[in-house]
Structure formats: C-alpha cells, structure tokens
Structure 1
Amino acid sequence: MELRVFTEPQQGATYDDLLAVALEAERLGFGAFFRSDHYLGMGTDGLPGPSDAWITLAGLARDTSTIRLGTLMTSATFRLPGPLAISVANVDQMSGGRVELGIGAGWFAEEHTKYGIPFPSTAERFDRLEEQLAIITGLWATEGGFTHEGAHYRVTDSPGLPKPAQAKPPVLIGGLGKRRTPALAAAYADEFNLPFVDEETTTAQLARVRAACEAADRDSDDLVYSNALVLCVGADEAEVERRAKAIGRDKDELRTNGLAGTPDEVVDKIGRYAALGSERLYLQVLDLTDLDHLRLVAAAVMPHV
C-alpha cells in the first residue's frame, strides 16, 4: 500500500505551511503530496484565505525534488479546459514530470457564489467535466490540429501546446456516483479514488467501476484504486485523543470513519482496505503544524503496509 499526504489548505494555510509539509513528506518517503482545490473554508474562518491549487503546486514543483504532486480534486467549474491543460503541463515541466491531475465536477456551491464562479446544475457540471476530460487529454496527446465540438466547449485546430514532461500526467477521477462517475473513470482515468468512505461502500463502488471498465472493453486492472481517509494516529491513547481534539474531531468517530488509533490499529485497517483492492491511501492531514504526526506514520506504519 502506497501512502500519500493530502492537505486541505482552504481551512487555513500559507504557502510556507504547505511547503513544510511537502518537504517533510518527501524526506520521509511518502509517495505524493496532494492538496484540495477549494476557495472557501468549511466550518472555519479559513485565515489567511484560500490559495489557488495550481499556483501553489507550481511553487512546490520548484521547491521539492522527488515527491509527486497533485490535486484531490481540481474543480472543473473553476477553469476552462484549454487553460487547465496548459497549467498542468507547465507545472509538470516545472517538476520534471511529477504531476497528477485529480479532477471532478465541483460540488461546493457557496464557494462559487462567494467568488463569482458560475455553478450549473449537477447534470450540466458532469457534462462539462466529461468534455473537459476529452479536451485536456486530447490536447496533451495531439500532434497538432486537435478539434472538439461539444455542447459547452469548442476547440478548433489547436496545436495542443505546451506538452507535459510525462507522456500523460495521470488522471484521477473519484466519487460515489453510481453511473456517470464509473463511466468517466473507465473512459479517462488512470486512478479511481474514493473519498472518506467505509469498507462496505468501497466494495460496492469499486465493483461498479470494474463493471464500467468491462462495459467499455477496458481491463479494470489498468486502473489504480485508492481511498482518502482522515489521519489521526498516536503512539498511545492520549496522543490519539490530543490529535483528534486538535482537528475538532472525536477519536472514536475517527476510528470508525477515518484512519485513527495506535499504529497497530491503523496498520490493521489499512490491510482491510488493501484486501478490498485499494492500492493507495491519501492521508488527510488537517493539522499542518504537527509534522511529528507524519514522522510517526513513517516510522511505525509505513514499514508494515
């Protein structure tokens, strides 16, 4: 099981906060550093204010050396597909080919109204997401002359420049939709991610994605399968409780709904997700000042999974 670090900077973080976590994650051997793509804090004042996902990843691309970088998930409502393809390709070049694009339809209506971003219906957002996936991957792959005629976006004879450093940055799609989400994953994803769900939900949704791959005549084993879970690990019970309180959560609730407890407990739970077919875990780190949390996971969990 590969362990990756996942942050939520809209809850309150500076670039230097993110850099400190990314550098420590890199030093400790975590597989990647990912961040959310939101413009409004949830249940918090969000100070010092939101940061743009791809601007901060561009900085991290130059300030880190080896760790992979990406988003869970870039909101398709925030950007036009052509400029997004350019931004991701630029950051991939800046990082030497370490970027991954997690992308979704967007869901948080309030952040759109706070910053003047249109927020269409769910059906339209998914329609736009599907076109964005076709355009972004098409622009990266084309030798020139890429054209797309869609209901929401029109691309005519594009040179498809710049190119990313990788032949194709991995594309992550995730979520709990029963029909369109698995179909989009089968058509476009390199990885399918399930955010903050239990083992039963994981089993059911992975089965839908595998079925969608079969219907699309794609080998379902081509996809990487992953989960994201809130992290709260302590060397003993007192430390678990302290870390839970620091992020405003109950330790027992986190044991059920997150990845919480002593290292032995966490290793056992990771093993259960692995048995369901999950190959990566995105560890949602909510207290960005607690780098000892990452150090504990690297020393007492990572070697056993």
Structure 2
Amino acid sequence: MDVRIFTEPQQGASYADLLAVATATEDLGFDGFFRSDHYLRMGEGDGLPGPTDAWTTLAGLARDTRRIRLGTLVSPVTFRPPGILAIQVAQVDEMSGGRVELGLGAGWFEAEHTAYGIPYPEKRIGRLEEQLEVVTGLWGTPVGERYSHAGQHYTLTDSPALPKPVQASPLDPARAGVPIIVGGHGPKRTPAMAARYAAEFNLAFPELADVEPKLERVRAACRDIGRDPASLVMSVALVSCVGRDDAEVDRRAAAIGRDPIEVRSVGLAGTPSAVVDRIGALAELGVSRVYFQVLDLHDLDQLELIAHEVLPQLG
C-alpha cells in the first residue's frame, strides 16, 4: 500500500509551512506529498497568509526534496490553458528529477474564480477531456515534430511541443509524459477519461460502501477499450485524524473543526489499529494507494504517529 500526504494550503499556509510538512513526509518514509490547487479558503476564517499557487509551490519543493513524489489533487482546467500547463508540469518534472504527477479536474469552486477574475464556464467536463488530450499530445509528440489541435475549446497550431517531461509516459513508455491522476464520482465520462488517459484513478472522500461499485465502473471502462484494469492504480483520499487514544483523536478533530464521531465514520481516523483496519478494508476492494488529508499543517506529531504506528503494519 502506497501512503501519501495530501494538504489543503488554501485554508492558510505559507511556503515555509508546506516545506515543513513535505520535509517530514520525506523523512518519515511516506511515498508522496500532494496538495490541492485552490486560491480561496473554504469555510470560516481569514485564510492568512493567503493562497499559494500549486505549481509554484511544487517547483520549490522539487528543489527542496529528493525522494517523494509530488503533485496536485487536482489542478482545475479553468486555471491554466493546456499548453501552459504542459510547460509548467514538464519543467517541474525536470526540476524534481522525474518525480511529478498531474492530477487534473474540471474545477468546481466558483467563488475562487470570481474572487481572482478567473473565467468560470458553466460546462467544464468537455474542457477536461480536451485538456487531457492536448497535454498528453504535447508531451507525446516526438522531438523535432510539431503538434496541432483544433477542438471545441482549444486550438494549437504548429507547436514545437517543448519542453518534455523527464519521465516516460506510464501508458506508452516510448513517449514522454508524467503519471496523470483522474478522479471523480461521475458514472460514465469520468471512468472513460481515467481509462484512456490516467495512470491513477482517485476517489476523494467516498463512503466506504460506494468504493467498490465506483471502482468497478472504472475497471469496466478499461475493459471497454481493451486496457488491463490492473494497469490503473486505484486510490482514495480521506481526512486524517489519528491519535494514540480516543482523547487525542477528539482533540485533533476539534482542531480541524470536525465532529469526532463523524470523522471516525468517514475518514482515516481513530487509533492506529483502527486506521490500519480501515486501510485493510480498502485494500480488499482493490485500493492500492491512500492519501491522508492533513488539515492541521502544524501538527507534525500526527505524521510521526502515522509513520511509526501505521506504516509498519501495511507491509
């Protein structure tokens, strides 16, 4: 089981805060450090010191870390045209020595768009499909050739399709590319996009009972296009609230503004043994990667607890 740390910096974090968590993530043996891509705090609070740009942050972490995987869960297609996104991700991949992954989504938080003057089209799933095609097309174009695309939302003409990522595409090792993460709860288009473009399918904050049927839809979409479903990593992201005893779990739940009973029912929450059991149940459903959503970025003791008491039991 791969175990990654997932953060929500729009709630209020500086680069120094994120670097401290990423450094602990690396030192403690986790597989990766991922962050959301948002520009506005959700819920109450002032969000100080303000938002940090996801790919600017990851560029810094690419130079300030050495081992862990780095990426977004997920970058909205509304924030960046696909040509610019392909350049950004390829550059950060080179800066990291080939450790970057791109989670890409349609975008959903209208308030952050209006707050910063970012257009928010009513229909976005079609843009996501087209961005996946363009980004992978740019990376996969052989050096010396040109890439053109004429679509409903984007037009690229005679692009040199540079720079290239350091990594080879997981779907076609003869071409450049980074692992792409597609996630969501849609019944048809999302599974189809994951089957066609993704190295990983992610379910964010699912009910346990929903995991198996939603993963099966993605496996079916793979079979429909002749892809081996086993070639697609299945992952979940769940809120983290781990404590040595019930009192510590309750304290951590209060610190992130969550009800202790509720967070135990829906998250990776409870004592280490309870969390190991929850991960084991997910593994039986075919999940091979979990993301601990860490909301209190100053509580590095929780990361140490997970590393010392949970990771060794996962094999």
TM-score by length of 2: 0.95
Query: Does the residue aligned with 1:295 lie in a helix, a strand or coil?
Result: helix
**1:233 and 2:242 matched:** yes
- CA distance in structure 1 between the partners assigned to 2:146 and 2:19 by the alignment: 39
Tell me which stretches of 4 or more aligned residues in structure 1 moved more than 2 Å.
none
Per-residue deviation at 1:218?
A: 1.2
Q: Which residue of 1 aligns with 2:23?
A: 23
Per-residue deviation at 1:12?
A: 0.4
Per-residue deviation at 1:46?
A: 1.1
- CA distance in structure 2 between the partners assigned to 1:297 and 1:235 by the alignment: 10
Structure 2: state its 5+ residue gaps: 169-176
Per-residue deviation at 1:250?
A: 1.2
Query: Does the residue aligned with 1:281 lie in a helix, a strand or coil?
Result: strand
**1:141 and 2:140 matched:** yes
1:209-228 to structure 2, matched below 5 A, reads 209-228=218-237
- CA distance in structure 1 between the partners assigned to 2:229 and 2:157 by the alignment: 33
Q: Which residue of 2 aligns with 1:194?
A: 203
1:37-186 to structure 2, matched below 5 A, reads 37-43=37-43, 44-121=45-122, 124-143=123-142, 144-167=145-168, 168-186=177-195
- CA distance in structure 1 between the partners assigned to 2:152 and 2:250 by the alignment: 51
**1:283 and 2:261 matched:** no
Q: Which residue of 2 aligns with 1:263?
A: 272
Q: CA RMSD in A?
A: 0.7
Code of the aligned partner of 1:51: T
- CA distance in structure 1 between the partners assigned to 2:119 and 2:161 by the alignment: 26
Q: Which residue of 2 aligns with 1:302?
A: 311
1:181-227 residue CA offsets vs partner (Å, 9 max, x unmatched) = 01111110110000001221111110111111111221111100000
1:1-43 residue CA offsets vs partner (Å, 9 max, x unmatched) = 1110000000000000000000000000100000000010001
Q: Which residue of 1 aligns with 2:173?
A: none
- CA distance in structure 1 between the partners assigned to 2:146 and 2:64 by the alignment: 35
1:113-154 residue CA offsets vs partner (Å, 9 max, x unmatched) = 111111112xx3111111110110011110121111101111
Q: 2:216 aligns with which of 207, 230, 246?
A: 207
1:30-64 residue CA offsets vs partner (Å, 9 max, x unmatched) = 00000000010001321111111000000000111
- CA distance in structure 2 between the partners assigned to 1:300 and 1:198 by the alignment: 25
Q: Percent identity?
A: 64
Aligned length: 303
1:244-289 residue CA offsets vs partner (Å, 9 max, x unmatched) = 1110111110111111100010100100000000000000000000
Code of the aligned partner of 2:150: E
